[in-house]
Structure 1
């Protein structure tokens, strides 16, 4: 007996991804420390010096002291591993981590590496942020998965973050 096709047993609610805007954020990052070609990747570390976030349900600033660990792979893709602390305008602290990827044509990535701003449609920059907080008001962040669409500015990245419903 042949098993039914997976699509035939999938509930209709699971056939498309539903999103809700959560917030926009930008990071200010110092020029990266270039550790160099380690076994496996070209490693760079950017120190986060601040930033801000704005959304319907929360807003505030990103505190200094976070870091952006970047791994440039042999295929030219940049793997992102970021940790930072957000402080809401009412004083709650939220830890945010995200992993992401940036890739595109070499000439576009070279322009970004030089600090040029290029149209975000010319390259791919996406991330998956996760949050942790002790704040009851912002506990909803502890209970969600999110995705982010990024763009690299000369001073650091800017992202549009969406809650996955």
Structure 2
């Protein structure tokens, strides 16, 4: 086996996504399907910043074991008016004793993010010339709950 070294990352941006109330589609063949619609938000980092546009969201599945499987699609608009398509999957693993608090909108942002596993794998698509470098990178993100939505620290794998 070749030694290719450790995975290295660099900070891409921090993002807050404001969410509409969840839409529960009920139990399906893979688990309970829930839609968390994006109501907007912001992102900011060393090389790009802007707004999360309304209309995207997370078409999540809660598996029978309580793990949430993410399926997120968002449109970002940069500070200079360019559009970026951002997608990511991921896993949000919550210990059983925290599930009731995380399901409660008034309490969920008070739960310590160190007490759950919430990670994503963002990818981007754009035709905006100054941002085409995003088309060729793989990212990792760490999520946590904030009042009214979720937030992420997103890093590019270098």
Length-normalised TM-score, structure 1: 0.91
The corresponding residue for 2:136 is 143
The corresponding residue for 2:114 is 121
Shift of 1:110: 2.0
Can you list the C-alpha shifts for 1:113-146, whole angstroms capped at 9, x where unaligned?
A: 1122211100000000000011111111001000
Can you list the C-alpha shifts for 1:37-84, whole angstroms capped at 9, x where unaligned?
A: 112201101111101000000000011110211100011100111101
Instruction: Give the SS at the match of 1:101.
Output: strand
Match of 2:68 among 74, 78, 97: 78
The corresponding residue for 1:3 is none
Instruction: List gaps (5 residues or longer) in structure 1.
Output: 1-5
Larger radius of gyration: 1
Shift of 1:35: 0.6
How many Å separate the matches in 1 of 2:77 and 2:93? 30
Report whether the alignment pairs 1:49 with 2:39.
yes
Match of 2:155 among 154, 158, 162: 162
Q: What is the number of residues matched between the two proteins?
A: 155
How many Å separate the matches in 2 of 1:40 and 1:29? 23
The corresponding residue for 1:68 is 58
Length-normalised TM-score, structure 2: 0.95
How many Å separate the matches in 2 of 1:154 and 1:106? 21
The corresponding residue for 2:12 is 22
Instruction: List gaps (5 residues or longer) in structure 2.
Output: none
Report whether the alignment pairs 1:89 with 2:79.
yes
